[in-house]
Chains A and B, each alone.
Chain A
Amino acid sequence: MMPYAELHCLSNFSFLQGASHPEELATQAAELGYAAIAITDQNSVAGVVRAHAAAKDAGLKLLIGAEMTPQDAPPVVLWATNRNGYGELCHLITKGRRRAPKGDCHLTFDDIAQHHTDLLAGVLPPAHTEQIDVARLHQYRELFGDRCYLLAELFRGPHDDKRLAWLRGLELQTSIPLVASGGVLFHTPTRRMLHDVITAVRYRTSVAQAGHLLQPNRERHLRLLADLNILYRGHEELLARTVEIADQCTFSLDELRYEYPRELAPEGMSPMEYLTQLTWDGAQRRFPEGVPEKVRGLLQHELQLIEELQYEPYFLTVWDLVRFARSRDILCQGRGSAANSVVCYCLDVTSVDPSRIEVLFERFISRERNEAPDIDIDFEHERREEVLQYLYAKYGRERTGMTAVTVTYRPRSAIRDVGKALGLSQDLIDRLAKNAGYHSTGEKFPIRCKEVGLNPASAIGKRFISLVTELLGFPRHLSQHTGGMVMTRGPLHCLVPIENAAMEGRTVVQWNKDDLDELGILKVDCLSLGMLTAIRKCFELVKQHHDLDLTLANVPEDDTKVYDMICRADTIGVFQIESRAQMSMLPRLKPRCYYDLVIEVSIVRPGPIQGDMVHPYLRRRNGEEPVTYPNENIKRVLKKTLGVPLFQEQCMQLSIVAAGFTPGEADQLRRAMAAWRRPGLIDQFRRKLLAGMQENGLTGEYAERVFNQIRGFGEYGFPESHAASFALLVYVSSWLKCHYPAEFAASIINSQPMGFYAPAQLIRDARDHNVEVLPIDVNFSDWSCTIENQALRLGFRLISGLRQETIETVVQARMHGPFSTMDEFLVRTQLSRTELARLSDADAFRSLNENRRLSFWNSLAQSDSPTQPSLFSPQHFVDDITPELPQMSAEQEVHADYRTTSLSLRAHPLSFYREELDQLRVIPNGDLKHIANNNSVRVAGLVLLRQRPSTAKGITFVTIEDETGAANLVVHQQTWDRYRKITHHSRAWLVHGYVQSKDSVIHVVANRIVDLSDKLHAVQTKSRDFR
């Protein structure tokens, strides 16, 4: 039996053409005993990295190639023989894609001619006819010489023998040898149904009507070697040739090493010298009283490691980026494991003083890891674009690109596409989609389908469910990642193809973050943090109104008032500690210093919760439990956290001091814990750890416990450095909230979308702190919120549907003096009817004595596209006759407020029903604190937030709000499911339950939920949902 290598495969990265994941193809080929496999997507190598990982695991050889479709020649499959060939292939794909709009590729034969070295070519004759442009075949032959082949693909069609004969004829005529290939579209025949479905989706029709667009049979899968031998009987050399071709290709993706950009150091200095100089200069600046011994030692250790691993260009690149941002007054801060580096601190990349935390450089870079470091930098989200443009300008379009994000099918999109393809009625599809979850279909999916009228036991129901489940996770298209940038020394397009993104002037590489990580290619993540924008805006407002120049570095530390506020859990709007979970923790943990904040930020996370670290820590902190350590070494590591390991670095350090690991080995241990898919690896480390600990005299039970804690941390624990960077921002934002609440609220609102709460709650919180809040008005407000006589004046940005240019016009016109009548406003601003209607609906004309209805009435007189008033048509917009318009009730006004701005300064929608609710024995949320633990109670409110953390065993936390405040609900899984219609779709609830109060943290556990939406249907609120 002849061996075989599959040379022509489309994976699902040929969007809507391939029906299998690249790793599925690789794994299946290995199981079938193929000699090798080539994943050859159309004009793309987006899927090869996933295939690479799977092929490596299975021990199968992977060829890298792509199917190129020039517009003036037959399509040809190209395979890379070595690194150079691979570079040519990437360059070719880049050329074709950069020329075309997003998602397309325009290539000509000449393009291929310019990039043919070290590539093998397999020309693809058309599938359904026996006609081909022989002249072009000759040209291919001339171009590629004996690297050119002709693909013979047989699919058990009506006349395979004739086709083969024709191909043999071509072979003689053009001297291009034939080679067998599969034209594979899916890995097993059972995927054929899904392939028909995606074909129907591709051509926007249904499967029943797609006709000959569908494949006539299932042959285009990875076939058994035996079947291939039967199919090509009499032509066995075609099969043998596939292995010949595979043998010629020796390129592997592992060969792609990162190549740093070069223009990093000034003339006459090597990059390492430059880095060293910058570091010591920075150290002087950071420690003006002299660099401490400890720090000096750390710096020398780090610089030595950097030089050894040759990472200095990377640090210089990042330093340059941060320097640029600071020069433009863009707030930024390094996050993540980079805060473990003192060099980074001296370079101003991170802001965490290494003397305040225990740094562990190996958490950031280690010899054993042998891959480039990963620095994430947070920038103000509104100005991040400037930073990205700087990178493009400095390194050029050819050497920088953004990482891609693979947008995949989610439940709703999968349901819609599969439903349309199967011919389900549109209304049924809509209902199925609305009833499904956001992220996955899960086991309850058949029940969901039944609820809306699709019987899951019927033939079509079964098919529908299985097809949707298969389609989930399939890539749909590539989109740009928010901020990951790749920069190279040589042209980027020799490393990976670049294509156009949807946005003008943006380009994207064909691989995503995980692919780049897998291959060890370096990227800088320029992340955006809303809070940085808010802090900067607040600094500006404080300077403007109080003439105080604040920076992240000079905010007064250790302010008791601020810590009092934090312990009270009065933290709405504050970075990181405003969530419900955090607010429940604050009164128990009671942070009183910076390091307490570091702990607070890290402790409310899945890692510590699952590892059962939280309660022991709190008990020890409150003095309920003695603090003990097995020995002195461990005490040193765990002292700051009272003997309970909370941080990733601590776990690593434990393995070092307790089990004798080297720092590099400790880092490997941490990463192995994260690789839970490879249990064999974890086992190895477990044995080593236990053995090491035993040598140091630590007993079995303690050792086991340590091991389990370390395991729990691998995936979820916070690095201490990361928490430390964040804790800085927590303190600064708390300080601002405490001392300048009006400015703080204004900045957070002006930086939306961000944070946990909507403007309505932020404003309510500001009012609770005695900030006066003034409504939006054409005579006073700007686009953004402003401070007016120490009160917060709301801005026009809160009105949905208004454009900033419209408001610019108003503000400009107002510079000549305030408006006194509607007529004057219309003449001076010349806004269109729709814009006026929006303003009047938002009640922005109150200072002109025009209520909503009256101003709307007057706005109607304006034509839709006003022109300049001319001499001949003096436009009297407002008649002298005031119309008799009925008055709006208070409730209607509040509903209108919510409709336009999602908030109301007048009253809360629920306040109008207080009497009715009283009759139903519902208590206002503000009275909850007077109810004793375990008493039954009824509460009602609008749904603000729903959160279902992964550690909470299916419990959902819901926050509802009425006119007296918010209430936190606990909804167990059964309750959630029992009232699913309400919990899923309703925005106003009446809840029967009982009170759970502990340490001044109050929750209501829900037993029964009643829908209040029909009373409040006019109120449109959006609940923010979190994991």
Chain B
Amino acid sequence: MPVSEAQTLCPDRRPLKLVAVNPEFDRILLERLAVVAQQFSPLVALNEAEEPDALLLDLTGVAHLYGGESEWAKSVCATFVSKGFQLQCAVAETIGAAWALAHGVHMPNRFRVLPAGELDRLNALSIETLRLNPEAHSVFRRLGIDSIGQLLALNRNSLVSRVGRAVTRRIGQFLGDIPELLTPYLPPPIFRERRQFEHPLTQPHWIEEISLQLLKRLLQRLAKRQLGLSQLHVVWQGEMAGTQLAWMIDLGRPTVDEPLLVELCQMKWERAALSFAVATVQMTAKQVGRLQCVRLSLFDEHQIALRKDIDTLVTRLHGRLGSAHVSHLELVPDAIPEHQTRLRSAIESSEIYDVSLDAGLVPQLWERPLLLAAFPQPVDVLRMCHHSRPAVIKWQGQLSELHHVWGPERVESGWWRRAVRRDYYRVETHTGQRWWIFQRLDTRQWFLHGEIA
């Protein structure tokens, strides 16, 4: 049901607790469980689907190690339940049959083992457990076929021409006539270079030398797979437990630029105060990514060079300062001045923003001062002149006479979040400063918003 309907069912005092669905997270969790399941079978696979939600294990030659299929299943259940999961487990001679059994019978945290050759015991289960496509289901519904037994009673050849091979394939997989292959799950490799010394080292420049060698090797391994490094973790460990120095270098974008990395590492190391003898050096690529290809065009070399330079600059700044501190301004079409610009992380936006391209942007943006106060500053208007324009204002204790006043520009907008109604004026003071001030139309108070440089 939709959220709004659920909210009407909730009693007034208790707010609805909503948890968002996160398929990525679910998949990662399932992959970890697959690794756990590898203790029970040499071949563990996730089911093939957009969002996998089951593990398939091949029991061939394994059951006797546990004293039988039931004992095996018991161990499996116990292991996962102890980890806090709820599961249904079924064992059968084919994957299709096991799937049907696991999905067709309600047995929370329990298991069922179907002895070989007794497939007809599953005849009463619904055909929904056979992993058929939706079109086939609607056809069978119209024919009144809803159990596996009824489906199996139909002639297989007649079915092929009517509902397609996919259905007969599933039936075959259920019965064991057609093989079903499992693709085993393999966890992703870890890129790590490690070196342990016989005698712990104390000289910093030797340690650095070896660290850089490890870095070089790491980068070579990555480059072979067309991968780049986006986060590097460096650890210098001493002999005694608990003594270590660690650094994280965050580049934002995957890169194999060795000189850059060397420079960044050295900048970090030169500030290190080494108080122990280093026994182990370890370099781990915490995050890797596909190397991005730069689009080549025949004619615009200048653009490419420029782009490359900017990318390098951003990466360096990122490495030195961290992701939170490198960002750029983005223009947002909005009538209210303080909302017209927005900071965005430099890594995310990989375009050079060419403002001249977007002529559709309201030219008012050109009319905005370059220096904008973070919050409008209240000022006092001490004297008004003709046509209700300000003549003398006081800000931060200083009096300024206004020699020129341009305006008003009326800005009224934002009623859907917080209404703003202002009359803006550009003013030039007696000292030659140019300010941008406004009057709020509801409270008639005056504020300084920016400086026109």
A interface residues (Cβ-Cβ under 8 A, vs B): 128-129, 155-161, 192-193, 196, 207-208, 211-214, 216-219, 230, 233, 422-423, 425, 427-428, 430-431, 451-454, 463, 841, 853, 856-857, 860-861, 879, 881, 883-888, 892
Interface string of B401-436 (1 = CB under 8 A from A): 000001011111101110000011000000000000
B7: Cβ under 8 A from any A Cβ: yes
B350: Cβ under 8 A from any A Cβ: no
Q: Is the CB of B145 within 8 A of A886?
A: yes
CA gap between A857 and B163 in the complex, in Å: 10
Question: With a CB–CB cut-off of 8 A, which chain B residues contact A193?
Answer: 415
Closest to B360 in A: A212
Kindly list 6 other residue pairs between chains A and B, CB separation below 8 angstroms, not including A453-B8, A885-B145.
A128-B362, A157-B409, A159-B406, A212-B361, A217-B410, A860-B162
Question: With a CB–CB cut-off of 8 A, which chain A residues contact B7?
Answer: 453
Q: Is the CB of B335 within 8 A of A857?
A: no
Question: With a CB–CB cut-off of 8 A, which chain B residues contact A155?
Answer: 410
Question: With a CB–CB cut-off of 8 A, which chain B residues contact A159?
Answer: 367, 406, 409
Closest to B422 in A: A217
B240: Cβ under 8 A from any A Cβ: no
B142: Cβ under 8 A from any A Cβ: yes
B67: Cβ under 8 A from any A Cβ: no
Q: Is the CB of B362 within 8 A of A212?
A: yes
Within the complex, the shortest CB–CB distance from B85 to chain A, in Å, comes to 31
* Interface segment out of the listed B29-37, B39-47, B147-155, B283-291: B147-155
Q: Is the CB of A861 within 8 A of B409?
A: no
Q: Is the CB of B155 within 8 A of A216?
A: no
Decide yes or no: A861 and B162 within 8 Å by CB, A158-B364, A212-B335, A841-B142 being known contacts: yes
Q: Is the CB of B4 within 8 A of A853?
A: no
Q: Is the CB of B335 within 8 A of A216?
A: yes
Closest to A879 in B: B158
CA gap between A887 and B143 in the complex, in Å: 9
Within the complex, the shortest CB–CB distance from B203 to chain A, in Å, comes to 60
Residue from A218, A431, A860 in contact with B5 in the complex, judged by beta carbons closer than 8 Å? A431
Q: Is the CB of A883 within 8 A of B410?
A: no
15 contacts between A and B (CB under 8 A): A155-B410, A156-B423, A157-B409, A216-B335, A218-B412, A230-B387, A233-B387, A452-B5, A841-B142, A853-B143, A856-B143, A860-B161, A861-B161, A881-B158, A892-B144
CA gap between A216 and B421 in the complex, in Å: 10
Closest to A159 in B: B367
CB contact list, B142-181 vs A, under 8 A: 142-145, 150, 153-155, 157-158, 161-163
Question: With a CB–CB cut-off of 8 A, which chain A residues contact B310?
Answer: none
Q: Is the CB of A451 within 8 A of B143?
A: no
Q: Is the CB of A427 within 8 A of B2?
A: yes
Decide yes or no: A857 and B333 within 8 Å by CB, A128-B363, A453-B4 being known contacts: no
CA gap between A431 and B333 in the complex, in Å: 32
Question: With a CB–CB cut-off of 8 A, which chain B residues contact A128?
Answer: 362-363
Nearest first, the 10 closest Cβ-Cβ pairs linking A and B are: A211-B333, A427-B2, A860-B162, A453-B4, A156-B410, A212-B362, A158-B367, A212-B333, A217-B412, A886-B144
Decide yes or no: A427 and B3 within 8 Å by CB, A853-B143, A861-B162, A881-B158 being known contacts: yes
Question: With a CB–CB cut-off of 8 A, which chain B residues contact A883?
Answer: 153-155, 158
Question: With a CB–CB cut-off of 8 A, which chain A residues contact B363?
Answer: 128-129
Residue from A216, A861, A885, A886 in contact with B413 in the complex, judged by beta carbons closer than 8 Å? A216
CA gap between A193 and B417 in the complex, in Å: 12
Closest to A454 in B: B4
CA gap between A885 and B153 in the complex, in Å: 9
Residue from A161, A428, A884 in contact with B4 in the complex, judged by beta carbons closer than 8 Å? A428
Question: With a CB–CB cut-off of 8 A, which chain A residues contact B8?
Answer: 451-453
Within the complex, the shortest CB–CB distance from B395 to chain A, in Å, comes to 22
CB contact list, B99-142 vs A, under 8 A: 139, 142
Closest to B364 in A: A158
Closest to B1 in A: A427
B334: Cβ under 8 A from any A Cβ: yes
Q: Is the CB of B367 within 8 A of A888?
A: no
Interface string of B322-340 (1 = CB under 8 A from A): 0000000000111100000
Residue from A129, A218, A431, A892 in contact with B2 in the complex, judged by beta carbons closer than 8 Å? A431
Q: Is the CB of A216 within 8 A of B416?
A: no
Closest to B415 in A: A193
Question: With a CB–CB cut-off of 8 A, which chain B residues contact A161?
Answer: 406
CA gap between A219 and B415 in the complex, in Å: 15
Within the complex, the shortest CB–CB distance from A190 to chain B, in Å, comes to 11
Question: With a CB–CB cut-off of 8 A, which chain A residues contact B412?
Answer: 192, 216-218
Within the complex, the shortest CB–CB distance from B181 to chain A, in Å, comes to 30
CA gap between A211 and B364 in the complex, in Å: 12
Q: Is the CB of B4 within 8 A of A879?
A: no
Decide yes or no: A157 and B364 within 8 Å by CB, A853-B143, A861-B161, A886-B150 being known contacts: yes
CA gap between A159 and B408 in the complex, in Å: 8
Closest to B163 in A: A860
Question: With a CB–CB cut-off of 8 A, which chain B residues contact A841?
Answer: 142
CA gap between A853 and B39 in the complex, in Å: 50
Q: Is the CB of A216 within 8 A of B158?
A: no
CA gap between A155 and B153 in the complex, in Å: 79
Q: Is the CB of B4 within 8 A of A452?
A: yes
CA gap between A218 and B421 in the complex, in Å: 10
Q: Is the CB of A214 within 8 A of B4?
A: no
Closest to A888 in B: B144
CA gap between A208 and B335 in the complex, in Å: 11
Question: With a CB–CB cut-off of 8 A, which chain B residues contact A216?
Answer: 335, 362, 364, 410-413
Within the complex, the shortest CB–CB distance from B279 to chain A, in Å, comes to 58
Q: Is the CB of A879 within 8 A of B155?
A: yes
Q: Is the CB of B144 within 8 A of A853?
A: yes
CA gap between A230 and B333 in the complex, in Å: 30
Question: With a CB–CB cut-off of 8 A, which chain A residues contact B150?
Answer: 884, 886
CA gap between A873 and B120 in the complex, in Å: 38
Residue from B153, B334, B411, B416 in contact with A422 in the complex, judged by beta carbons closer than 8 Å? B416
Question: With a CB–CB cut-off of 8 A, which chain B residues contact A192?
Answer: 412, 415
Question: With a CB–CB cut-off of 8 A, which chain A residues contact B334?
Answer: 211-212
Q: Is the CB of B162 within 8 A of A427?
A: no
Question: With a CB–CB cut-off of 8 A, which chain B residues contact A213?
Answer: 333
Within the complex, the shortest CB–CB distance from B239 to chain A, in Å, comes to 60
Closest to A421 in B: B416
CA gap between A192 and B362 in the complex, in Å: 19
Residue from A217, A422, A425 in contact with B3 in the complex, judged by beta carbons closer than 8 Å? A425
Q: Is the CB of A219 within 8 A of B410?
A: yes
Q: Is the CB of B332 within 8 A of A427?
A: no
Q: Is the CB of A427 within 8 A of B5?
A: yes
Q: Is the CB of A431 within 8 A of B154?
A: no
Q: Is the CB of B162 within 8 A of A857?
A: yes
Closest to B359 in A: A129
Q: Is the CB of B367 within 8 A of A217?
A: no
CA gap between A453 and B1 in the complex, in Å: 13
CA gap between A235 and B158 in the complex, in Å: 89
Interface string of B421-453 (1 = CB under 8 A from A): 001100000000000000000000000000000
Q: Is the CB of A428 within 8 A of B2?
A: yes
Question: With a CB–CB cut-off of 8 A, which chain B residues contact A423?
Answer: 416
Closest to B334 in A: A211
CA gap between A879 and B144 in the complex, in Å: 20
Q: Is the CB of B143 within 8 A of A885?
A: yes
Question: With a CB–CB cut-off of 8 A, which chain B residues contact A853?
Answer: 142-144
Closest to A219 in B: B410
Q: Is the CB of A214 within 8 A of B163?
A: no
Q: Is the CB of A158 within 8 A of B409?
A: yes
CA gap between A451 and B4 in the complex, in Å: 10
Question: With a CB–CB cut-off of 8 A, which chain B residues contact A452?
Answer: 4-5, 8
CA gap between A133 and B149 in the complex, in Å: 80
Q: Is the CB of B416 within 8 A of A211?
A: no
Q: Is the CB of B162 within 8 A of A217?
A: no
CA gap between A695 and B336 in the complex, in Å: 74
Decide yes or no: A860 and B139 within 8 Å by CB, A883-B158, A888-B144 being known contacts: yes
Closest to A424 in B: B4
Question: With a CB–CB cut-off of 8 A, which chain B residues contact A233?
Answer: 387
Within the complex, the shortest CB–CB distance from B336 to chain A, in Å, comes to 9
CA gap between A891 and B287 in the complex, in Å: 63
Interface string of B345-380 (1 = CB under 8 A from A): 000000000000000111110010000000000000
